[in-house]
Chains A and B, each alone.
Chain A
């Protein structure tokens, strides 16, 4: 974990203060998961650059909202542990079975998002 934090810090601290360009945002977002886990004390290093710190917090807040909306992991049940790579008929069969088990929540999810 420490090494990841260090990498994230080095990466983010190399960004220019204007963070609104897609390429820069992309770099920061690649480290989002790491930064999210360290957003309290360990994120304090960014106070070295107040603009960067503020931008980071804003992005994290926005992303949290968006992730909440888009997080299908919360919608699709019984997916945890299903990390085995499959191909062809096996892939289709298992994905369809998972769809079948989650028909209701998926439709509610889609319907809710599209209202």
Chain B
């Protein structure tokens, strides 16, 4: 079964419902669609979304913490997590975020290498330039 817009909407609602996170709507949509590209089967997509929600929740609650990125990503932390919890599964997904008082600014979530090798950080660069939060 292909991923419909209803399934995408469900994923958006789930991610947005995490307490303590802040993100731009367009980036949330982009990242959800990117996950749908990566996991075209509905059940697998839903699992990846669930794992994303869990990761965001743990970060927002302070139960987990990412590692600081270097150089031009100074101030941003990256947390690695599995798209599905099974033995042997690498931590293939990432959340790039910036802690602030009472919230986490979510820059981006998604796969590190697929579908477009390593564009996670290239896209992060683009998003940083777009950011109007500091202007």
Contact = CB atoms under 8 A, between A and B. Distances in A.
Interface residues of A, number: 47
Interface stretch (A24-32, A38-46, A47-55): A24-32
A19 to B, nearest CB: 12
Interface stretch (B47-55, B80-88, B116-124): B116-124
Chain B binding surface SS class: helix
Contacts of A88: 16-17, 19
Contacts of A100: 5
B12 A95 contact: yes
Contacts of B4: 107
B28 interface: yes
A102 B28 CA distance: 14
A15 interface: no
B73 A67 contact: no
B115 interface: yes
Contacts of A89: 16
A107 B8 CA distance: 10
Contacts of B73: 30
Contacts of A70: 34, 37, 115-116, 119
Contacts of A73: 30, 126
B24 A86 contact: yes
A30 B12 contact: no
Interface of A: 7, 11, 22, 25-26, 29-30, 32-33, 62-63, 66-67, 69-70, 72-73, 75-76, 79, 82-89, 91-100, 102-103, 106-107, 109-111, 113-114
Q: 4 closest A-B pairs (Cβ-Cβ)?
A: A94-B25, A92-B16, A66-B116, A70-B116
